[in-house]
Amino acid sequence: FIYKALTKEGRETQGELQATNRQVAIEYLQRDNLTPLFIEEKGSFEKRKASIFNFTFGNRVSALDRMFLTRHLSAILKSGINLREALEILEDDVQKPIMKKILKDARINLERGQPLSVTFQVYEKHFSSVFIGLVKAGEVSGNLEGTLENLGMQLQRDYDLKKRVQSAMIYPLILLGASSLIVVLLLTFVMPRLIKALTQAKVVLPLITRVLIGLSKILSANPILTIIVFLALIISAITFFQNKQGRQFFISIMERLPVSKNLIKKLALSRFAITLRNLLNSGVSAVEALNITAKTIGNEKYERALLDIEAELRKGAPLHEVFKKRGNLFPHLVISVIAVGERTGTLENSLKAIFPRLPQKQWF
């Protein structure tokens, strides 16, 4: 395992260690009086570092950047160093220009009397409303280091879940790509021979066949144009799925496929439970927490449902009752847990029962 950790004096150290799994590696570091900041298997770390798909540009804050920021800052604050010095340490440590600028602005704003959350609001393009809301709640409650630690854990879960979804989608996407390529090859190379045979037979062809013949003639007559069109379609698809409408369209398709519909639902429910719990733990009201959770859940169907629940809650409706009306989205377990939490006044603790602390692969 490759690791980064803090010593008791607040200095950062890094290295490698041998362990059977990640939990054992954490225990080894804690036994040596080190506070873990980052631990990952050496092979997967090097593969990710080398992969073009994980290349991060200097003006973009990645999920890993946010995760490392919260964990580093929390660990440094827990070691007794004040926030201004902690920001200065991280500013000197990071290499990415945008991260260095954010940390510098945060330190300067802090010296001018502005809280940390104000800086994150300025850079709201890089930090979600949940991120900003939790930091603000941590400042108000006086437990910023604890809030940052919880936020780091949430970001880690989101990152792991996203990777699991991507892994689950690789096979269908490969099939889709291969099928598209086969269709293009058939139209370009096989169809011309069939056209010749059909022309000689002088038979009346159906409309769909005539359309395919016309398309085949265009593709076979212009192979360079065929390649350009094929690449343009791929680039257009990638661009489309990177915006909100494209992502929602992709999710709506995945919700209809047997291989992925349960995964998409559990991803939305886990984000709902974890985000809502962390917001409530940080002192955010239930109504505001639902509003923030809705806007960051990443699933349009659940976003609309949570905003409707928020509206009904403002009118005085019982929380578990408004969730019960949407039993198609929220399973009986979720509704029961919310009902118990609402009755006992410990909703944030009850939400832990929705996704207990099991290895995440068991959720799926």
Q: Looking at residue 269, what is its pLDDT?
A: 85
Residues 108 and 186 in one domain: no
Instruction: Give the total number of structural domains in the chain.
Output: 3
Q: Is residue 316 part of a domain?
A: yes
Q: Is residue 251 part of a domain?
A: no
Q: Is residue 284 part of a domain?
A: yes
Q: Looking at residue 363, what is its pLDDT?
A: 39
Does residue 127 or residue 9 have the better pLDDT? 127
Residue 349 tokens read as 């603790």
Distances (CA, A) of 32 to 6, 35, 41: 11, 9, 19
Residues 278 and 328 in one domain: yes
Q: Looking at residue 54, what is its pLDDT?
A: 39
| Listed ranges 65-69, 158-162, 175-179; the one with the highest mean pLDDT | 65-69
Whether pLDDT at 249 is above 70: yes
Residues 235 and 269 in one domain: no
Q: What percentage of the chain carries pLDDT values higher than 70? A: 88
Whether pLDDT at 350 is above 80: no
Range of the domain at 13: 2-160
The domain that contains 333 carries what CATH number? 1.20.81.30
Q: Average the pLDDT over each of 15-24, 259-268, 348-357 and give the range with the smallest value.
A: 348-357
Residues 148 and 178 in one domain: no
Residue 36 tokens read as 């873990």
Residues 152 and 183 in one domain: no
Q: Is residue 254 part of a domain?
A: no
Whether pLDDT at 46 is above 60: no
Residues 148 and 86 in one domain: yes
Q: Average the pLDDT over each of 167-171, 190-194, 286-290 and give the range with the smallest value.
A: 167-171
Average pLDDT of the segment spanning 299-317: 89
Average pLDDT of the segment spanning 318-323: 88
Residues 104 and 225 in one domain: no
Rg (CA), the chain: 26
Residue 40 has phi, psi (to 5 degrees) of: -155, 150
Does residue 229 or residue 55 have the better pLDDT? 229
Which pLDDT band, with edges at 50, 70 and 90, does 53 fall under?
very low
Whether pLDDT at 7 is above 60: yes
Whether pLDDT at 149 is above 80: yes
For 211, other C-beta atoms within 10 Å of its C-beta total 11
Last residue within a domain, chosen from 160, 194, 209 = 160
Whether pLDDT at 282 is above 80: no
Residues 148 and 48 in one domain: yes
Does residue 17 or residue 358 have the better pLDDT? 17
Residues 28 and 152 in one domain: yes
**pLDDT (tens digit, 9 = 90+) per residue, 154-175?**
888 778 877 777 776 677 778 8
Residue 151, SS3 per DSSP: helix
Residues 140 and 39 in one domain: yes
Residue by residue, DSSP assigns 221-279 as H-HHHHHHHHHHHHHHHHHHHHSHHHHHHHHHHHTTSTTTHHHHHHHHHHHHHHHHHHH
Q: Is residue 246 part of a domain?
A: no
Q: Looking at residue 352, what is its pLDDT?
A: 65
Q: Is residue 207 part of a domain?
A: yes
Last residue within a domain, chosen from 104, 138, 160 = 160
Last residue within a domain, chosen from 132, 160, 188 = 160
Query: What number of CA atoms fall less than 13 Å from residue 226's CA on the CB side?
Result: 18
Whether pLDDT at 52 is above 70: no
For 296, other C-beta atoms within 10 Å of its C-beta total 17
Residues 123 and 181 in one domain: no
Average pLDDT of the segment spanning 124-145: 84
Whether pLDDT at 103 is above 90: yes
Residues 120 and 28 in one domain: yes
Distances (CA, A) of 4 to 29, 76, 274, 305, 338: 10, 13, 26, 41, 38
Whether pLDDT at 47 is above 60: no
Q: Is residue 76 part of a domain?
A: yes
Whether pLDDT at 348 is above 90: no
Q: Is residue 272 part of a domain?
A: yes
